[in-house]
Structure 1
Amino acid sequence: MCADTPETPDYKSTLNLPKTDFPMRAGLPKREPEWLARWEKIGVYDRLREKEGRTPFTLHDGPPYANGHLHIGHALNKTIKDMIVRSHQMMGHDARYVPGWDCHGLPIEWKIEEQYRKKGKNKDDVDVVDFRQECRKFAEGWVDIQREEFKRLGITGNWADPYLTMAYHAEAVIAGEFQKFLMNGTLYQGSKPVMWSPVEKTALAEAEIEYHDHKSHTIWVPFAFQNAEGDLAEARVVIWTTTPWTIPSNKAVAYNNKVAYGLYRVDATEEESWTNPGELYLFADALAADALGKSRVTEYTKVRDVQAAEFDGLICKHPFNGADGAEGYWDYEVPMIDGDHVTDDAGTGFVHTAPSHGADDYEAFVARNWIDRMTHNVGEESEFLPHVPFFAGLQVFDRKGKEGKANNAVIAKLVEAGGIIARGRVTHSYPHSWRSKAPIVFRNTPQWFASVDRAVGDGQDTYGKTIRDRALTSIDELVKWTPANGRNRLHSMIEARPDWVLSRQRAWGVPLTCFIKKGALPTDPDFLLRDDAINARIVEAFEAEGADAWYVDGAKERFIGDAANPDDYEQVFDVLDVWFDSGSTHAFVLRDREDGTEDGIADVYMEGTDQHRGWFHSSLLQACGTKGRAPYRNVVTHGFTLDAKGMKMSKSLGNTIVPETVVKQYGADILRLWVAQTDYTNDQRIGPEILKGTADSYRRLRNTMRFILGSLADFDEADRVENIEDMLPLERWVLSRLAELDEVVREGYAKFDFQGVFSAVFNFATVDLSSFYFDIRKDVLYCDGDSDRRRAARTVLDILFHRLTTWLAPVLVFTMEEVWLERFPGDESSVHMIDFPETPASWRNLQNEEQVAKVRRVRRVVTSALELQRREKVIGSSLEAAPVVHVEDEETRRLMALVDMDDVCITSGLTISADPAPAEAFRLPETDGVGVVFEMAEGEKCQRCWKILPDVGKHAHAGTCGRCSDALG
């Protein structure tokens, strides 16, 4: 701290300067793998499980799909989970985390099919068991890759024994869980419209759908009446649709009693028009002008208002009724029906109703018990089936997702039949498969469903008799939601959802392990073979051989055995929706594993907001059908990760951030710190500049920890001040702040508020400590001998060390391990085996925060005044000053007298005055009643501590002040 002079010795070596090997530069990308290897070697996760008497806490992992490298959303998700697990462990729980993977399903099946196509092989020519084995091998490979990528992020858990939905036990349990639906009466086979992918040739769940802009045909089609009287006998009711291909399946025309309708006459048209003067049409009044304009009508007259009641009982003709060559296929009645789903927002005010191709249409027919009127016109490749006149074989979409010939063929036939008055194109949001990115169709096809409104015959009626009632009760009474609006989202979905489509027409999955009676109808009581002994044989076989046992020759005879005549039954080969797989994980993970839970219920499910319609949703339905309630107590939801501009990440836009790239450049701790600094409950942004800011925060925090480590060199229990009351006010204030912060940290971690925890700890470390307490106490720490105040300061630093390292360990897993090992090296040492230290609540009363705040406000005025003198080159250091501080408030002066204000302000002297501040005194507008008059310090400069004091040179050691001379002995 001082230069060597001929007159005095060099006292630098006598100072208590910080001593630590903890480097300024972290070098995280290189060093983090070393800590990972160390944790694996000493078995940190397993050793934590050995701690006895702790309350279990289980976060159940929503399984990522075993297909492809991790993206930034994976990193966010797993890091939040890791922070939850680690923080609860350090708060005294036995916090368990079993990572898992979703292994069945279409994406993997697609990959294997792609490999086949490249080799010129046809999947249908391959034995199904061989095909499934290739799918299994593919999934195993990606599980291993993703496991290492997750571990590199510092994620703790039972990596040696994760759960896989394709494990034999898992497949056995999934089959067993399905059988509960079979036996409790909620399973049924129905024929209703489902979202169907022509590319993947399978039904899709809502969670497998994403919406993209799509250009569709639009047509306006008039329907003539069969039984109308008066002026309506000559009128035609006009519908509008964006799916011309569904017209051949039309079975009704819907209207709404609340919509105002009118009868309109065409008076004049453009030369090219599909309408003629004198023709009468029915429209909703709000839409008539637009529809007539689209049909190139230049003049028209509203003949009269038409009451919706006039449509009651009217029957229309199908536009293809009587068409030559159709052999009467469409010569059926098309009734007018009322429906609340009809609006006058767009179209014509009348809705073309094809119950085989629309949810509202289907429900309208169900309500009227008209299920027998459903059509089966479209096949699995979205092709018209052979029995459909004119259009047989034509596809809506081809196998590449491009538009087929069906729409144009239907439009052309309508033109020929005089069944169209206008056409156009519209770009609108349309459902697509999230895998193939191809548009889907709504298609009526036999599928297996779990009823959400039938009484569940299992006797578990505490929370309701139906799956829907149990789910809604669970949402409202049994689950806590973070953020709270997650409750509303899932509640509204469950409230309005249809029955659950369980079946998929694929090969790689757990089959629907049931048999149906040949020749029986789905409504017959003996349609499904229900037998406990058969179910048990299936589960036992799956446990030993996996679900492949279902596909082996002779499986039907093996499983039915002597319970019935196998020849009387058909074996179902559809596979379960993969959401049923993941929804069943509570059974084979939480219920069945030793590291599961006693009641099969998780403390936390944590996933992205899209899982309100995905895993949260399917797990809730599945558990309500099999155990009568939700399988979770807390549901935590995070948003999506966007680029720095708030745009969705896309490879085509080149704005993706890959976790591996961040880890290689900065280290995993920087990525984890980014997670901790974001409000994960909303969408987050990430980009190069954001990461640079995160790295800067990290450096500031690292410097704080480095200072603590350096100042605690050689600290031992003999240095500790046991009686807190013996400490100076500044130390008591730090401990008081620690007690407050301890409560914030614990409550924050318990509420999964990592942003709140980190913000509080970071501000404390960088503002209260580095910029205030450390700044003030450097002089004492460096220059005092074995003084009471130095021992007190080091005691406080030791207390700070133990709290900061543990509080931050769930976030900065690598860095806090480095900090810990710098002080406590050893083969078995790890901060991650330590709990948060208990902080006495009594510390909160050690020092009044407002009193300290008053002193800090005065300090701010003093340091600002001295900074002005420094900028004007009057002084080079604040130690050259001994200002006079005029303070009006008596309480503030009293508080200043209790502390060493020259230490607080880092000056060589400071005088407190009750006199009014003179006009030339320095003031800050935001601090009333404080004025600073600059004065130079008097005396000589101590060659050891650099303070300028009158007694320098008057002591045993040349060129020192009394304090430094005493320290030198």
Structure 2
Amino acid sequence: MTDTSDTAARDAQRDWRDTVFLPKTDFPMKAGLPAKEPGILARWQAMGLYEKTRAARRGREKFILHDGPPYANGDMHIGHALNHILKDTVCRTQTLLGKDAPYVPGWDCHGLPIEWKVEEQYRAKKRNKDEVPANEFRAECRAYAQHWVDVQREQLKRLGINGDWDHPYLTMDFQAEATIVTELLKFAESGQLYRGAKPVMWSPVEKTALAEAEVEYEDVVSTQIDVAFEVLDTPNCPAIREFLVRGERVYLVIWTTTPWTIPVNQALAYGEGIEYAVLDVSKLELISLTERGTEPSRRDGLRDTKVIVAVQLVDSFVARLNPKNAPAGWAIGDTGLRIKGTDLARGEARHPMHALGGFFAKPRPFLPGDFVTTDAGTGLVHMAPDHGEDDFLLCKHYGIDPVFAVDGAGMYRADWAWLGGQGSVINKKFVSAEGPICSDLRAVGALLAASDDFAHSYPHSWRSKAKVIFRATPQWFIPMDQKLPSRLREGLGEGSAANAALAADFPPPTPPAGGRGAEGETLRSTALAAIEATTWYPPKGQNRITAMVAGRPDWVISRQRAWGVPITLFVNRATGHYLVDPEVNRRIVAAVREQGVDAWSEEAAQDLLGADYDAADYERVTDILDVWFDSGCTHAFVLESGRWPDLQWPANLYLEGSDQHRGWFQSSLMEACGTRGRAPYDAVLTHGFTMDAKGMKMSKSLGNTINPIDLMKESGADILRLWALSVDFTEDHRIGKEILAGVSDQYRKLRNTFRYLLGALEGFDEEVERFGRLPVAEMPELERYMLHLLAELDAKLRAAVAVYDFNSYVRLLTEFAQEDLSAFYFDIRKDSLYCDGVDDTKRRGCRTVFDTLFHALVRYAAPVLCFTAEEVWQDRFPSEDGSVHLLEWPEVPNVVSFSMVGRWSLIRQLREKVTGKIEPLRRDKIIRSSLEAEVICPSPYEDVRQNAEQIDFAEVFIVAKVTIDPARSSFENEADISVARTDFHKCGRCWRHLPEVAVDGDLCDRCAGVVA
């Protein structure tokens, strides 16, 4: 007979861990992503994951994201990484929803960015580009672009981007170049091209016109000057005429921050609604240039000099006057005379350098300008139609044309009477207060004020970082306000033999309903209507691009460079009209398809023209197309050509940075509206720019850049992906060491969630056969509540995907894993999972929910943590040709009971209060763990009181005992919650303190049964 006391003593000392069902998994807590991810990538490539994905979704609803082409000229930077992670996430989430969402990456391979880099290599070798044959130079540009395509492709693949990397689109492919030519000739054939001279943004360093998207604005300090133009006559203003008759001098004063435009001045503009003051200048030594000749005469101490400026700007004008221009004792008084802007109509002044004769001797007319304001300056503006949009339009209206005095390098042409052969006009020394322009104006007494201290924003080339200028040059334009041809309404290619010939090799898409530009509409109005019909994420993007399109000038499509698609037009030397002939156009397109851009050469001109035309009668245009026209055509040769049969036109989505509202989004819009009458996209998603941790723009000179390639080597691509999708990418956002440390912590929590599920589900598949999954109806209420929360999460994630709100998507997923699972459900169910019998209903219900959670969460995480989700899936379901990325969105049980949800919401609030009440006792070591606590709780809600017997509050709160006291009505006051150390003894297996345990170490009834 065994002594029971001896048995109890032995049991109290026994280690029961071998009877506890602890989670078991080989899934490592330490991710080791930098070493592990390349192997996963290699496996995807070996199994043909992209092709398998296409096959799995073939015949399903299409979702087409058209990739905007980055430039092939350097390593991937953080902006590339963010952009492509977002695109990949869009395609992966749409694929997860069951759609066919192919991704074809592409690159922009033409244009100045690449040409500039090749020229830099030339300069380093002391070679002159102009001495190299054009086709040889272009071949070097092509090779340079291809090199960086290959480099960037491998870098982007490392991010886990699932795409058709073996067949990307390149704008320098011969077929792509032929399509770009085809699109250009569609504009030409429909009369939507013209050549004209008007100011465009011009880079004197790169010697070419620039598009708005190629320009960035930087803060600079410029020279500001006030210049006096002597009035010759004012027919509409007798008061001023009277001064002139008396021999007094009257001057209009202009203010400018571009002194270099004074040598090209042709008129003066006033505001018709502005009131002007006539000021009396005492002892100011202005020089009279009345007498013609090389030596002006000086009138000392003029007491009869008048200057005219806007009334509102008198004080700021006087404050700027430079004492150098006047002797001691000079002063300005107010004559009291006020004139209206209209009083200046038909008036004239002389240029300060009129003594030079010729161009400078012509009187400068006064013109009314609605752009003249009193925000700054003098309320009078000098007009140089060569160098300003407003100047050009106003002067053109009055028959004044540009004179092209400044050449492509920013120098005044050699034959210009003033400063001929000098420059550059963007050189700070040349335009400074002591430079030649101001010195000459000062010498003739026309410079009233000059200072090198005017701070403002100024356009720069984003490639060379040099200042740009507005410069009138002959360029090719697509008009914004010319009526579109009616055939756009009828369908592309109809009613046009020339266009039909072009369309033979590039058939147009079926016209979408309501998509064509109506007859009589302009490109501007058609584009504005298309913007209205497009969905913009975020919505403010619509206002941004609408304002840009509403106010933009005609599209300058020509560039004066070598590396690009040529403007394949022949211009009749006699008429100035470009040739439109279907046979000629067909030959041009065919030649470019076969030989690329080199096909457009002087040697080939006669062959392209054919027997009907003499090449001597035609000028072969040598300009190339604006690279934005190239990229604006990508929808045509990528979505329509049939080369990628999985694609279709139009795209569901374009996705780029917010700067593309004035770049690719707009050029694609203009190109498609001009040829197809609608946008090439249904929706546009934009992201902001990545700043450093302090919110400053990243710059190599500041040393605050984050290299995504280095980051992947240190932390792995999944960390970079999680960062990109965790920030509010629709706005400018930040990255830095502390931010990435937070992302890494977030990642570890998600990884540990999967690790716990994998361990808890060890052997679950075998258990299914033995016991069967527990039906939802038989599950405890907590399990049904968790399935309800999962269904809620599922609906929210679907809603986030629908509007591309990946910031919310990641936050919802992370919060669910942390707050609903780790801190709540996992915490509560550890006891049942570890200690209940394998056939226990509660444990079976728990493991069934765990399995449901696993299948849902690994799918939800796959678009974000593409490598980790694959690792998790393969750990549980290893397969040589299987992948989590071939799965579809999970089916989640819809468990809805409003009373249950409300009840558990209150229980969770009560649990949080109890935990907060226990913590001080743990801190003071009154109790060692919550399992030693006895709790008395209030019962403020009838629903909780009625169901108290069905809920094991001690298990939910993870304590020894819970008493619900009906007399206590509120848990808002912590005083209504009582916590004390229990007198119950501790079970040696489950460690719960229970009344049936006689001594510490004995087994409770439940554990005794399981062990038996």
TM-score, normalising length from structure 1? 0.94
Q: 1:679 to 1:895 in 2, by over 3 A?
A: farther
- Aligned residue for 2:442, secondary structure, equals helix
Q: In structure 2, what is the Cα distance between the partners aligned to 1:158 and 1:14?
A: 52
- Aligned residue for 2:219, secondary structure, equals strand
- Per-residue CA deviation, residues 776-818 of structure 1 (Å, 9 max, x unaligned), is 0000000011201101000000000011111111111111111
Matched letter for residue 853 of structure 1: S
Preserved contact between residue 65 and residue 651 of structure 2 (Cα < 8 Å): yes
Which residue of the partner structure matches residue 453 of structure 1? Answer: 481
Which residue of the partner structure matches residue 306 of structure 1? Answer: 339
| 1:440 shift after superposition | 1.2
Matched letter for residue 780 of structure 2: L
1:838 aligns with 2:846: no
Preserved contact between residue 693 and residue 735 of structure 2 (Cα < 8 Å): yes
Which residue of the partner structure matches residue 48 of structure 2? Answer: 43
Matched letter for residue 835 of structure 1: E
Larger deviation: 14-23 or 423-432? Answer: 423-432
Which residue of the partner structure matches residue 475 of structure 1? Answer: 531
Preserved contact between residue 865 and residue 934 of structure 1 (Cα < 8 Å): no
Q: In structure 2, what is the Cα distance between the partners aligned to 1:960 and 1:875?
A: 21
Which residue of the partner structure matches residue 821 of structure 1? Answer: 874
Q: In structure 2, what is the Cα distance between the partners aligned to 1:450 and 1:951?
A: 90
Q: In structure 1, what is the Cα distance between the partners aligned to 2:861 and 2:300?
A: 74
Q: In structure 2, what is the Cα distance between the partners aligned to 1:103 and 1:190?
A: 28
Which residue of the partner structure matches residue 143 of structure 1? Answer: 149
- Per-residue CA deviation, residues 658-678 of structure 1 (Å, 9 max, x unaligned), is 111221221111111111111
Preserved contact between residue 199 and residue 389 of structure 2 (Cα < 8 Å): yes
- Aligned residue for 2:903, secondary structure, equals helix
Please give the residue correspondences for 1:737-748 in structure 2 after superposition, counting only pairs within 5 Å.
737-748=789-800
Q: In structure 1, what is the Cα distance between the partners aligned to 2:725 and 2:710?
A: 19
Q: In structure 2, what is the Cα distance between the partners aligned to 1:15 and 1:858?
A: 30
1:492 aligns with 2:532: no
Q: 1:722 to 1:243 in 2, by over 3 A?
A: same
Q: In structure 2, what is the Cα distance between the partners aligned to 1:604 and 1:28?
A: 31
Q: 1:183 to 1:887 in 2, by over 3 A?
A: same
TM-score, normalising length from structure 2? 0.90
Preserved contact between residue 718 and residue 864 of structure 2 (Cα < 8 Å): yes
Which residue of the partner structure matches residue 424 of structure 1? Answer: 451
Which residue of the partner structure matches residue 875 of structure 1? Answer: 927
Which residue of the partner structure matches residue 253 of structure 1? Answer: 268
Which of 98, 103, 118 is the matching residue for 1:97?
Answer: 103
Q: In structure 1, what is the Cα distance between the partners aligned to 2:983 and 2:855?
A: 39
Which residue of the partner structure matches residue 311 of structure 2? Answer: 285
Larger deviation: 600-609 or 3-12? Answer: 3-12
- Aligned residue for 2:958, secondary structure, equals coil
Preserved contact between residue 623 and residue 629 of structure 1 (Cα < 8 Å): yes
Which residue of the partner structure matches residue 803 of structure 1? Answer: 856
Preserved contact between residue 286 and residue 445 of structure 2 (Cα < 8 Å): no
Q: Which runs of 5+ in 1 are unaligned?
A: 522-526, 918-922
Preserved contact between residue 267 and residue 277 of structure 1 (Cα < 8 Å): yes
Which residue of the partner structure matches residue 127 of structure 1? Answer: 133
1:435 aligns with 2:463: yes
Matched letter for residue 749 of structure 2: R
Q: In structure 2, what is the Cα distance between the partners aligned to 1:132 and 1:352?
A: 43
Which residue of the partner structure matches residue 783 of structure 1? Answer: 835
Matched letter for residue 25 of structure 1: K
Matched letter for residue 24 of structure 1: M
Which of 166, 190, 193 is the matching residue for 1:187?
Answer: 193
Please give the residue correspondences for 1:178-577 in structure 2 after superposition, counting only pairs within 5 Å.
178-228=184-234, 230-233=238-241, 234=244, 235-269=250-284, 276-293=302-319, 294-296=321-323, 297-323=330-356, 326=357, 328-366=358-396, 368=397, 370=399, 373-397=401-425, 403-404=429-430, 408-425=435-452, 426-457=454-485, 459-461=487-489, 462-464=516-518, 465-476=521-532, 478-521=533-576, 527-551=577-601, 553-577=602-626
Q: 1:583 to 1:66 in 2, by over 3 A?
A: same
Question: What RMSD, in angstroms, separates the aligned Cα atoms of the two structures?
Answer: 2.3
Q: In structure 2, what is the Cα distance between the partners aligned to 1:298 and 1:895?
A: 94
Q: In structure 1, what is the Cα distance between the partners aligned to 2:398 and 2:587?
A: 39
Which residue of the partner structure matches residue 502 of structure 2? Answer: none
1:960 aligns with 2:1003: yes
| 1:268 shift after superposition | 4.4
Which residue of the partner structure matches residue 893 of structure 1? Answer: 945
| 1:463 shift after superposition | 3.4
Please give the residue correspondences for 1:624-635 in structure 2 after superposition, counting only pairs within 5 Å.
624-635=673-684
Q: 1:295 to 1:968 in 2, by over 3 A?
A: same
Preserved contact between residue 64 and residue 647 of structure 2 (Cα < 8 Å): no
Which residue of the partner structure matches residue 709 of structure 1? Answer: 758
Q: In structure 2, what is the Cα distance between the partners aligned to 1:901 and 1:887?
A: 12
Which residue of the partner structure matches residue 505 of structure 2? Answer: none
Q: 1:530 to 1:948 in 2, by over 3 A?
A: same
| 1:963 shift after superposition | 1.2
- Per-residue CA deviation, residues 600-632 of structure 1 (Å, 9 max, x unaligned), is 211111111111111111111111111111111
Q: In structure 2, what is the Cα distance between the partners aligned to 1:888 and 1:210?
A: 63
Preserved contact between residue 515 and residue 571 of structure 1 (Cα < 8 Å): yes
Which residue of the partner structure matches residue 503 of structure 2? Answer: none
For this pair of structures, how many residues does the alignment match? 943
Which of 17, 21, 43 is the matching residue for 2:22?
Answer: 17
Please give the residue correspondences for 1:26-65 in structure 2 after superposition, counting only pairs within 5 Å.
26-51=31-56, 52-65=58-71
Matched letter for residue 830 of structure 2: K
| 1:845 shift after superposition | 3.4
Q: In structure 2, what is the Cα distance between the partners aligned to 1:631 and 1:926?
A: 61
Q: In structure 2, what is the Cα distance between the partners aligned to 1:310 and 1:639?
A: 50
| 1:723 shift after superposition | 2.1
Q: In structure 2, what is the Cα distance between the partners aligned to 1:664 and 1:274?
A: 76
Which of 723, 727, 739 is the matching residue for 1:674?
Answer: 723
| 1:116 shift after superposition | 1.8
- Per-residue CA deviation, residues 254-289 of structure 1 (Å, 9 max, x unaligned), is 011121111111134599999843201111011223
Q: In structure 2, what is the Cα distance between the partners aligned to 1:650 and 1:596?
A: 41
Preserved contact between residue 862 and residue 885 of structure 2 (Cα < 8 Å): yes
Matched letter for residue 285 of structure 1: V
- Aligned residue for 2:896, secondary structure, equals helix
Q: In structure 1, what is the Cα distance between the partners aligned to 2:1001 and 2:316?
A: 101
Which of 665, 685, 692 is the matching residue for 1:616?
Answer: 665
- Aligned residue for 1:104, secondary structure, equals coil
| 1:888 shift after superposition | 4.1
Q: In structure 2, what is the Cα distance between the partners aligned to 1:810 and 1:847?
A: 35
Which residue of the partner structure matches residue 942 of structure 1? Answer: 987
| 1:916 shift after superposition | 4.1
| 1:346 shift after superposition | 1.1
Which residue of the partner structure matches residue 865 of structure 1? Answer: 917
- Aligned residue for 2:685, secondary structure, equals strand
Q: 1:115 to 1:886 in 2, by over 3 A?
A: closer
- Aligned residue for 2:233, secondary structure, equals coil
Which residue of the partner structure matches residue 785 of structure 2? Answer: 733
- Aligned residue for 1:963, secondary structure, equals helix
Preserved contact between residue 721 and residue 792 of structure 1 (Cα < 8 Å): yes
Which residue of the partner structure matches residue 920 of structure 1? Answer: none
Larger deviation: 94-103 or 284-293? Answer: 284-293
Preserved contact between residue 516 and residue 529 of structure 1 (Cα < 8 Å): yes
Q: In structure 2, what is the Cα distance between the partners aligned to 1:677 and 1:92?
A: 24
Matched letter for residue 348 of structure 1: T
Q: In structure 1, what is the Cα distance between the partners aligned to 2:182 and 2:738?
A: 51
